[in-house]
Amino acid sequence: MTSSTSSTASPATGTRALSSPATATGPARATSAAAPTGEPTREHWMDLLRGTAILLVIAHHLRLVQQIWDGGTPWAMVELSEALAPFRMPALLFASGLLLARSLRRPPVRFLAGKLRGLLWPWLLWSAVMLPILGWGHADEPLWWLNGMYTWFLAALFCYYVIGLVTRRIHPGWIALASVVVWTALPLLGAAHDWLGPRPDKFIFYAVFFFAGAALRPLLARGPLPWPVVVPALAVAAGWAAYASKIDAEPRVPVLAQLVILLAVIGAVGVLQRLPRLLALRPVEWLGRNSVVPYLVHLPVVEMLGRHVDLPAGWGTFLLYYAITLGVCALAVGLRSWTGFLYAFPTRRRASRSAERALAEASEAVEQTVPTPGREAVGAGVRR
């Protein structure tokens, strides 16, 4: 939850992951290769990781809303949602953390300005969008704005990026370890974990995945993780998922919960690194490249469907709502060039660049239609 994804990294934030999208049609390389510009090529497994997490987030929220407004949802969907609950948001945060080092190459002022525009602005805007849907009474609750809505993900990302900037001379692995220690110590300090309430305890819990992604980025860039690491990690994840489904809740065992979930995400990455560029997976990659948009758009759509469309609960209704939600999210991505202010605060500089591009395109069009003496000779020389 969430997003959409701009120089800001995320679900969920819709950043250009490593560079411009890869154009190869064959199997993607698992490691980064230097492009002519010096930038590494895009790694498709990162898009798959984000895209898959976004699909799971949408399914989870649809299940919850359908249970509230339609009185039920398919049993298999409930079990699947509970089993995968521990892994959805950690996967998105891990993917965002992979981009921390790249973001920190910018000057601190530009770095912070980008995060303000691409994280705090949509966090504030889309939290406000949810007020008329969920009730205006939340407007005067500061903790609701921070952690009472699905937009908490963007607020958490902003905090993690600021921490990353302040501690940029410290290896992110140490920050990840500190997250485990602090979250485990909360009850010992008299602050019981408040996972479902508005208190932002989970900001501490989830920090381990963001900074673990930043710490493991150099290792993952070398190539696919070895099977002796991936297989045991997936086995542990399967056991944890089965346990979560059995208790109908995310297991929150101190230390163990964070480590097991991190192992699960690493195992999933090891599998995704080996997947070829299958045509059937391209839509998931595309969703991952634009993750901030579906992350932010999906919940208002799901809420409106659940509240105002009266259909009997069941697989047919669930799949119909899911298809409609994905369709609206895809449309929102397509309209992003006109609605970019919904996902990042607009700047005069961006508007100026857009105007310059439009002027250049217009000039080129005029040059192509108005003949100039000697143009043919010049064009022939260039082609040769």
- β-partners of residue 40 are 34
| Residue 319: strand, helix, or coil | helix
Task: Find residue 34's DSSP bridge partners.
Answer: 40
Q: For residues 327 and 329, what is the distance between their CA atoms, to the nearest angstrom?
A: 5
340 three-state secondary structure: helix
Instruction: Give the integer Cα–Cα distance in Å for 245 and 302.
Output: 23
pLDDT confidence of residue 224: 95
Do the Cβ atoms of 96 and 157 come closer than 8 Å? Answer: yes
Residues in the chain: 384
**Cα gap 30→119, rounded to integer Å:** 29
Separation CA 34–CA 221 (nearest Å)? 12
pLDDT tens-digit map of 132-156: 998 888 888 888 888 888 999 999 9
Mean pLDDT in residue range 253-257 = 91
Give the model's pLDDT for residue 295. 97
Convert the pLDDT of each residue in 324-354 to its tens digit.
999 999 999 999 999 999 999 998 655 445 5
Question: What's the pLDDT tens digit per position in 49-77?
Answer: 999 999 999 999 999 998 888 777 788 88
